[in-house]
Chains A and B, each alone.
Chain A
Amino acid sequence: MIEVLGVHKSFGSNEVLRGVSLDVAAGEVVVVLGPSGSGKSTLLRTINHLEKVDRGFVSIDGDLVGYRQHKGKLHELKEREILKQRRHIGFVFQNFNLFPHLTALENIAEVAPLADARQFLARVGLADKEDSYPRQLSGGQQQRVAIARALATRPKVVLFDEPTSALDPELVGEVLDVLRDLARTGTTMIVVTHEIGFAREVADRIVFIDQGVIVEQGTPAEVLDHPAHERTRAFLSKVL
């Protein structure tokens, strides 16, 4: 479903991704772990073309992201076409990024018919909050609205960039419940998180990134309980 092939990305002289390749199957839940600054956010952002890659390719369901192959050449897509592609890729931000001047329902209705918007809001358990503005909601509720909004374009994959990191500890659970529910119903997702317990329980595969390369990957049991690499062990000893 998602294919990341030899992706390189630098900011100035700082090479943040150094040849990352990753295949995610339909319905698979991949959790990305890694120390701060290792390039996790950058990887997610290159997948939906919020960052342009310097080298390498990303494709979703067989379609190259940001380019079109035609007569032996790669043509860069226009912004309008990239925006269309992004509707297939949901993105959930660490700090929600809800539109503050729109109600919960209007936030979702911005990208979906009203009836659908109501359904998605109900799906994250906030049917009674449709007329609330983001500022009137708790952090956990805001993130749930943001998740409903990301689902509203009916994407093929959903990317989560530390969806619970900005939340008070007692609000983390309600957001993880929504993620669990999505995983159970077969949503293809890549989740960057520091919630090791959640990763162990929900992930089909865990990918450990450090300094812009994938150091190792495998089932939660393999990576969390029997890490093969020293760097993985060092990281896990700090977070577990």
Chain B
Amino acid sequence: MPPSGTLTVVSTKDRSVVLASLPVVAARHPWRWVGVAAVLVLAAQFVHGLVTNPAWDWPTFARYFTAQSILTAVGTTILLTVLGTVLGFALGIVVAVLRLSKSPFLQAVGWTYVWAFRSIPLIVQLLFWFNISYLYQRLSLGIPFGPEFVSFETVELISPMGAAVLGLALHQAAYAAEIVRSGVISVDRGQLEAAAALGIPKFRQFRRIVLPQAMRAILPNAANEVISLFKGTSVVSVMAIGELFYQVQVIYGRNARVVALLMVATVWYIILTTLLSIGQHYVERYFARGDRR
């Protein structure tokens, strides 16, 4: 037995046997547990408050949460979101393509669109479309500065709902254009060169090669936009359209149960945003398919 403090020469084999026989102690993180405990206490307090404080007025909440008028309003909110998203992104892709084109004129058109619609506050734009019939009583098709072929009363052509969809879509398109453009310029140049070298037609290059890869960068931002549009539809309540937020205002205007009804709207917004986030997860996974090993 060598005295302690002197070196013992052990062969590698013996050494690995010795190491393998030692028990392993996992690294401990005591402060994590302190953090978890603190968060749990706060959460419990919050839930306790929600349940026991009568001011939250849960019976009223329960009465209205699935009331027909609320469900209809939720439907209108979803419809506005879907139309705003679909039309907004469709126009946004066109504007992005303009901004990415080789023609300086088209670039300028795209840039101006984005500049204009990002500059005007959504609520101002909505009120403008809502009131457009004061500005132009009649809309007509014809030769510019020449004879007209057909004409419409503006009020008939643009209903409040139409004005809301138009406003949301035009506003959304400006943001969608920038999101799409950022995705497209993130695609490696070599991909475009390979597609060009293979003689793949231009539109097909965009649809089959560029866009699917750009989607990786587009999706998280697009999901943000859709969710913010979804809640942003509450802005159209200024136009007296029966979407969710307008509807709860109408109801609490009658019965003064403000908190309970705001909670009705809030919980619906949370539920639908959650569904959108889950959808986002799966769509992102689909577009990451070449990335999995």
Contacts and interface: CB of A to CB of B under 8 A. Distances in A.
Interface stretch (A16-24, A63-71, A77-85, A216-224): A77-85
B14 interface: no
Interface stretch (B111-119, B192-200, B254-262, B268-276): B192-200
Contact of A91 (B197, B208, B287, B293): B197
B217 to A, nearest CB: 13
A50 B191 CA distance: 13
A149 B209 CA distance: 14
Contacts of A102: 290
Interface in B208-222: 208-209, 212-213
A93 B193 contact: yes
A98 B293 CA distance: 16
Given A91-B197, A100-B290, A110 B208 contact: yes
A51 to B, nearest CB: 11
Given A99-B191, A101-B212, A110-B208, A86 B289 contact: no
Contacts of B199: 83-87, 111, 153
A149 B198 contact: yes
B190 interface: yes
A94 B199 CA distance: 19
B198 A110 contact: yes
Interface in A203-217: none
B61 to A, nearest CB: 46
Instruction: Tell me if B's interface is mostly helix, strand, loop or mixed.
Output: helix
A138 interface: no
B211 to A, nearest CB: 10
A83 B202 CA distance: 8
Interface in A107-162: 110-111, 133-136, 149-150, 153
B291 interface: yes
B213 A100 contact: yes
Contact of A136 (B195, B198, B293): B293
A10 interface: no
Nearest to A48: B197
A86 B197 contact: yes
A95 B188 CA distance: 12
Interface-central residue, B194, B195, B291, B293, by most chain A CB under 10 Å: B194
Contacts of B292: 133
A213 B245 CA distance: 73
Contacts of B200: 83, 110-111
Given A93-B193, A97-B193, A101-B213, A133 B198 contact: no
B198 A135 contact: no
Interface in B98-156: none
Given A85-B199, A110-B208, A93 B290 contact: no
B201 interface: yes
Nearest to A49: B196
Contact of B190 (A48, A95, A149): A95
Contacts of A91: 194, 197-198
A135 B293 contact: yes
A5 to B, nearest CB: 22
Contacts of A48: 197
Given A97-B191, A99-B209, A133 B289 contact: yes
Nearest to B287: A101
Nearest to A136: B293
A89 B191 CA distance: 17
Nearest to A133: B290
B283 to A, nearest CB: 14
Nearest to A103: B290
Contacts of A136: 293
Contacts of A97: 188, 190-191, 193-194
Interface string A4-48: 000000000000000000000000000000000000000000001
A149 B202 CA distance: 18
Interface in B162-217: 188, 190-191, 193-202, 208-209, 212-213
A97 to B, nearest CB: 4
A89 to B, nearest CB: 8
Contacts of B208: 110
A111 B198 contact: yes
Nearest to A102: B290
A93 B194 contact: yes
Residue with the highest number of chain B CB atoms closer than 10 Å, among A83, A84, A85, A89: A83
Ranked 3 nearest A-B pairs via Cβ: A97-B194, A86-B199, A87-B199
10 contacts: A50-B196, A80-B202, A86-B196, A86-B197, A97-B190, A99-B191, A99-B195, A100-B291, A133-B290, A135-B291
Interface of B: 188, 190-191, 193-202, 208-209, 212-213, 287, 289-293
